[in-house]
A and B are shown apart, each in its own frame.
Chain A
Amino acid sequence: MNTVALEVKNVVKTFSVDGSKINAVDDVSFKVNSGEFVALVGPSGSGKTTMLSILAVLLTPTSGQVLIDGQDLAKMSEKQRVVLRREKIGFTFQSNNLIPYLTAKENVEFMLRLNGKANRAGRVRSQELLARLGLNDRLHNLPAQMSGGQQQRVAIARALIHNPTVVLADEPTASLDTERAFQVVETFANLIHENNRAGIMVTHDLRMCKYVDRVLQMRDGKLVQIYETKEEVMALARGGDH
């Protein structure tokens, strides 16, 4: 239960824009255990998406080390990274999540196809997962026929269906109304806890922290504060109310 799924050590990501350098992520270190759901918060431009992209193996850090399941990303070939991405990582993006010509169910099953596991059991599980996210009557809709929130939920199902080690979600509640947002994050948290995944969710909305185990706060690329205990986390979540 307490194995380390994800470890980040002194990670720096520098972007050069017009000759000047910006440290989008600046010397960040943390660990996430399997079965743990963590929120990543901070103001716009603080480096959350950059951090998540590094964890999703979409972006190589300028320096520092990232270990997923004990494997050092820096020591992998590009091919191995592609395999790691489809086997061990689930990802929902800030927008443009789904493949537009696949239905909700096909989008989720595609993750299984990628991993060569699109069997009967897998298809049943996709359907159950979508049902749990409240999409039972949207299985055969194309993304264009669904609301933004429904699309986000399909993306969450897709990020979980293949039992990845790490689940990364960038603003999964951005296009949901408050009630729906609470519901979705709660289900998300439950699925992560039940299946013993390591989950990281980026959010602007501190109220969503009510369902997470820990909160990492970033500012100007730096990890400025970690809310560890249940009390600290709940206080932060309540504070977000006003």
Chain B
Amino acid sequence: MGLSIYLALKEIWRNRGRFFLVALVIALITLLVLFIAALGEGLGTNNRQYVSNLDAQLIVFLDKSDFIIPSSRLDQSALKAVRRVDGVADAGPISTSSTAILLDNGKVLKVSMLGVEAGRPGLPPVIEGRTYQTQLAKETVIDRNVALRSDIKVGDEITIRSTQGTKDEFFTLKVVGLTEGQAYTFQPTIFVPPSTWERVRPKSEAEANKTVPDINVIAVKLEDPSQTEAMKSKIEANVSNVQVADIETTISNIPGYSAQQGTVQTQGAFTLLIGVLVIGGFFQIQILQKVPQIGVLKAIGSSNAVVGLAAVIQIMVVTAIGVGIGGLLTYVFSLFFPPTIPLVFNGNASALAIAALLFIGPAGGLVSVIYAVRIEPLKALRLS
């Protein structure tokens, strides 16, 4: 072991220029992999954040809506029926739509506008200001993401523009509170009471005179959060014409979510594969050049274990240095990224990526290690 470390480190040090270049290549691959992971996380977060932060365990959909939030339509009676099911602690309606806030500088900010009842699952905790008071209040709670992209503050009045029928209608809402981390389908989010939502949301001519708000889905908080499976069947049995999903299923059915995550993961996997090939290629070429010297090592009495281990240690050291530099570069770059770019450096995702990167070195170099062990000292020396 000691002997292998000695050989591996001496060789790296005496050829530090060459090994540093390889470490740099690994660093660039690391940078790429970490950014792809962060992008996947960022895109995913922006898509699902609101749903995954819900204070609820189950989501009730219209039957045969395939768990797709925008294609589910429920009414107030379904909400009442869900609330009556034994074991349901609370249930809140969620109505989704998109609208635009008119900003002072003449631009518009597209937002998700969610109609949710105050004090029920569906409205996230308010971190500044207060929540709206009545079902009809012309008040709104905005996500910090809205504040970051404009200079809207708690206490301001905002104007939203919605197309109703064929006309653009304008509504004024007072910002009473602020939440955090509530992006939904890539847009920053504002929350309004259900009746207000029905009045101000974009709608078609036919819906123009509706006043009872439609509900897309119902967020259900259970008395015993561990009973999701049992409660799922129970709600489906007790409320007609609904299907129930847990949060995870709901997220994976957010339109485009799975496809997008799949794409990002494929990119990450291919980048890792390129890493394996680059490292494998380098060490394979290197080992071919080293046949005579490995022959000498063996001829003077180094065991296969010493030679093989030295090759493994060398690959691991170079990979570790490369991944270290890459991690550092990624960190430095991440400091300069504006908050509006969807990059999220999540500890778990990065750790997984780094573990994968550390693994690709030995994986790529495996062939060369096996080759090194198989070199016969005499043949190696005859080559000269």
Contacts and interface: CB of A to CB of B under 8 A. Distances in A.
B283 to A, nearest CB: 15
11 contacts: A85-B300, A87-B301, A93-B299, A96-B295, A96-B381, A96-B384, A99-B7, A99-B297, A101-B11, A101-B15, A114-B302
Contacts of B381: 58, 93-94, 96
Given A82-B301, A87-B301, A102-B10, A53 B384 contact: no
B296 interface: yes
A86 B300 contact: yes
A91 to B, nearest CB: 6
**How big is chain B's contact interface, by range?**
20 to 34
Contact of A99 (B15, B293, B377, B378): B293
A-B complex: 10 closest residue pairs judged by Cβ atoms: A86-B301, A101-B14, A85-B301, A96-B292, A96-B384, A101-B11, A58-B378, A95-B384, A82-B303, A114-B301
B8 to A, nearest CB: 10
Nearest to A84: B301
Looking at chain B's contact residues, the main secondary structure is helix
Contacts of B7: 99
Nearest to A110: B300
Contacts of A224: none
A98 B296 contact: yes
Contact of A59 (B293, B300, B378): B378
Nearest to A155: B296
A107 to B, nearest CB: 10
Interface of B: 3, 6-7, 10-11, 13-15, 292-293, 295-297, 299-303, 377-378, 381, 384
A227 B292 CA distance: 35
Given A59-B378, A113-B3, A101 B300 contact: no
Contacts of B295: 96
A229 B300 CA distance: 33
Nearest to A98: B296
A6 interface: no
B301 A53 contact: no
Contacts of A111: 300
Interface in A3-39: none
Contacts of B13: 101
A99 B6 CA distance: 13
A91 B299 CA distance: 8
Residue in B3, B7, B300, B377 whose Cβ sees the most chain A Cβ within 10 Å: B300
- The interface size bin for chain A is 20 to 34
Contacts of B300: 85-86, 91, 110-111, 114, 158
Interface in A99-133: 99-102, 106, 110-111, 113-115
Contacts of B303: 79, 82
Contacts of A142: 14
B377 A58 contact: yes
Nearest to B294: A99
Contacts of B384: 93-96
Given A101-B15, A113-B6, A114-B300, 12 more contacts: A58-B299, A58-B381, A79-B303, A91-B300, A93-B296, A95-B384, A99-B7, A101-B10, A101-B11, A101-B13, A102-B14, A114-B3
Contacts of A163: none
B274 to A, nearest CB: 29
Contacts of B378: 53, 58-59
Contacts of A98: 296
Nearest to A49: B382
A235 interface: no
B299 A96 contact: no
A96 B14 CA distance: 18
A115 B303 CA distance: 12
A97 interface: yes
B299 A85 contact: yes
A156 interface: no
A56 interface: yes
Interface in A154-171: 158
Interface in A50-100: 53, 56, 58-59, 79, 82-83, 85-87, 89, 91, 93-100
